[in-house]
Structure 1
Amino acid sequence: MISLGITDILSKTGFGASFLTNSFLIYLTIFHVRKIHGTYKQMIVYFAISGILLTGLEPIARPFCHNFNGSLIYFSVGTLDLPQFTVQLILSIWAGFYLQTISFISIQFYYRYLCFFDVKKAKSFGGLKSVLWIGYPLIIGASYSTFIFLFSMPDTYSDDYMRSEIFEVYGLEITERPRFDVVFYDAEGNIRIRSLCFTVSSISMITVHYIVILYCGIRMHVNMKRELKKFSAPQRKLQRQFFHALIAQCSGPTLFLVLRAAPVLLTPIISPIVDISVSWRTGWFYSIVGLYPPFDSIAYMVIVTEYKKVIRS
């Protein structure tokens, strides 16, 4: 249980760092930064608020994950005296914020891509149509939270499959923990449809948005010199800084969000096929998710000169 106590410290540290850095970023963006305006300013504020909410839920939900052979369990190690369903709801909302974060990063990349290649379409992100880019990540997050409830609610078979493992590793009785279970194969070796639906939906939602990030990022990098000629000298410098900030935003989710999802989601499928026994405390990956929002905000303020000028003045 010592290791689980450390995750509590990490989650609270992540929230504290996220609250301070993101609040500072919001303050500078709204009241002091002048060269960034319109849609992109709204996106910066929106993303900073989302980061605070993501890390703020983590100390409450205390999400942890364990991979055992052809299964995974997503459960809470929190000590709050709340009904199991309430904590399950908080766990699903936290996971929804995780997907919302990835989807919104893809929107930011797409918007910057349009600013380079199709300014007319980029302008459509403003005004009343801003509801679309604000609403889309919320829909993605809510959909993922719903999929968790639909496809990974625990049942007798999944609990029996995981019970001895969870007790041996963590000293916890599985039925006493708010949890979601995914056991990919039944006792006869057949694929469980619910688990297949959860895995496919999770991998698809992450992969599609990450492909958008990579495609837009690569296209902007390859064509940057040519496209920057459309802008004035000061705007060229600012657009280049925006791109470098996006690269930092790309490396951040790759490290903190996307790479950590791969072993968690794919191991239940692969380990029985290759006949490898697995007992991994993959919940440690969740402990570093809370470090992404402050990393992103600090990187943005360091890269974009406008923020550095305001901070120094």
Structure 2
Amino acid sequence: MLFSTLKFAIQLFSFICSLFFNIILIYLILTKSPKKMGTYKYLLVYFCCFSMLYSILDIIVGPVIHSHGSSFFMMMKLGILKNHPEVGFLLVSLLCGCFAVSITTISIQFVFRYFAMERKGRISYFRGKYLIIWFLVPLISGTIWILQDWVFLHPNAKMGEYINETVFINYGVNVTDITYCGTFFYPKNDQGVPSLDYFQFFGFLGFCVIMGTTFLIVVIFGIKSYKLVRELPKHGESEYTYKLQSQLFKALVVQAFIPITFLFIPIGLVFIAPLLHFDIEPASFLVTIFFSIYPAVDPLPILLIVAEYREGLSELIYKTIGKRSIQISSYTDPQITSIS
């Protein structure tokens, strides 16, 4: 089918780009980061690693995100796992968990940037043993999401019967040949009348808590950080510090815009539409593509906006194509102190 071919091509391209960009960014972070970045560079490396894991799982699972009637689901064709559907479901759940890890990590970066700019000593909570705790928070968020998948979104007979026709019509497979994470909000009761499944609804609320909390943190600390960046020159900060903080904040804003565009909004719509009886089934293809493209474009803001990484990338390009590397001059503050 045309859809399957196009989807695989996009997912493969995204996988290759994600590995390529993230590996380059990790190299540049470790070799080109200014001293003033402090422990922030470790957060960036951490984020890059999860982006690559996201891409690897995405190409293995080959997910299809679909909304149908009062249900939504992310499905995987079982293929060689036909006799081991639980393994397939685990892979789908892990991919969903990567989504939770990604949005949680973004929110933590906003907290870090705010603490770094406010200069009240709270950035010390991102050093030493505290940094390990911050690294664990996204993992905890992802684990909770995965556990909720197993409790609330596990395949069941009622939903399988409900989505069987649309799966076959749209993707040419029977529901017995796939596994999925999904929910069916309005199954028929004993009288044959569709009624809200409160168990599924409470599960839905659990996912909303994670998405809503991380989104709220991004908005609150984003606004706070923006105000502080504007005030830096008034507080006597050097030109270099101001430029670096501005670049990091701009990169973070763009980096937040990407998951909002590619994950929060489309996934949020897929979650909410079936509950509110909105039919967005024709848009399911776009949601699938957005979900797969995300890890490929996510490292680009940091790579292209932060001057040290952008210049380091230019050097790599010139060296790779065999041209003489151009030394790009940049302003350096003679009195460098860590921003973190």
CA–CA separation in structure 2 for the residues paired with 1:51 and 1:218: 26
- Please provide the CA RMSD for this pair: 1.9
- Counterpart contact for 1:63–1:283, Cα < 8 Å: no
Q: Which amino acid aligns with 1:16?
A: I
C-alpha offsets along residues 271-290 of structure 1, whole Å, 9 cap, x if unaligned?
A: 1xxxx655335253132233
CA–CA separation in structure 2 for the residues paired with 1:277 and 1:29: 44
CA–CA separation in structure 2 for the residues paired with 1:44 and 1:223: 21
CA–CA separation in structure 2 for the residues paired with 1:301 and 1:163: 44
Residue 300 of structure 1: CA displacement?
1.2
Change (3 A) 1:53 1:278: closer
Counterpart secondary structure, 2:215: helix
Which residues of 2 match residues 253-272 of structure 1 at below 5 A?
253-271=259-277
Partner of 1:282: 284
Length-normalised TM-score, structure 2 = 0.85
Counterpart secondary structure, 2:183: strand
- Counterpart contact for 2:186–2:196, Cα < 8 Å: yes
Partner of 2:156: 155
Partner of 2:202: 197
- Counterpart contact for 1:18–1:55, Cα < 8 Å: yes
Residue 116 of structure 1: CA displacement?
1.9
CA–CA separation in structure 1 for the residues paired with 2:279 and 2:263: 25
Partner of 2:170: 169
Counterpart secondary structure, 2:146: helix
C-alpha offsets along residues 167-204 of structure 1, whole Å, 9 cap, x if unaligned?
A: 22222211221123311012133221231122111222
CA–CA separation in structure 1 for the residues paired with 2:279 and 2:309: 50
CA–CA separation in structure 1 for the residues paired with 2:175 and 2:63: 14
Q: Which amino acid aligns with 2:247?
A: Q
Partner of 1:42: 42
CA–CA separation in structure 1 for the residues paired with 2:152 and 2:164: 19
CA–CA separation in structure 2 for the residues paired with 1:179 and 1:309: 44
Change (3 A) 1:255 1:281: closer
CA–CA separation in structure 1 for the residues paired with 2:220 and 2:147: 28
Deviates more, 1:82-91 or 1:70-79: 70-79
Partner of 2:324: none
- Counterpart contact for 2:155–2:179, Cα < 8 Å: no
Change (3 A) 1:95 1:52: same
Counterpart secondary structure, 2:55: helix
Counterpart secondary structure, 2:117: helix
- Counterpart contact for 1:65–1:281, Cα < 8 Å: no
Counterpart secondary structure, 2:251: helix
Q: Which amino acid aligns with 1:213?
A: V
In the alignment, structure 2 segments of 5+ residues that lack a partner are: 316-326, 328-340
Q: Aligned pair 1:222/2:218, yes or no? A: no
In the alignment, structure 1 segments of 5+ residues that lack a partner are: none
- Counterpart contact for 2:111–2:221, Cα < 8 Å: yes
Residue 36 of structure 1: CA displacement?
4.8
Length-normalised TM-score, structure 1 = 0.92
Equivalent of 1:244 in 250, 254, 265 = 250
CA–CA separation in structure 2 for the residues paired with 1:78 and 1:36: 48
CA–CA separation in structure 1 for the residues paired with 2:309 and 2:279: 50
Change (3 A) 1:120 1:277: closer
Corresponding residue pairs, total: 309
Partner of 1:291: 293
Counterpart secondary structure, 1:124: helix
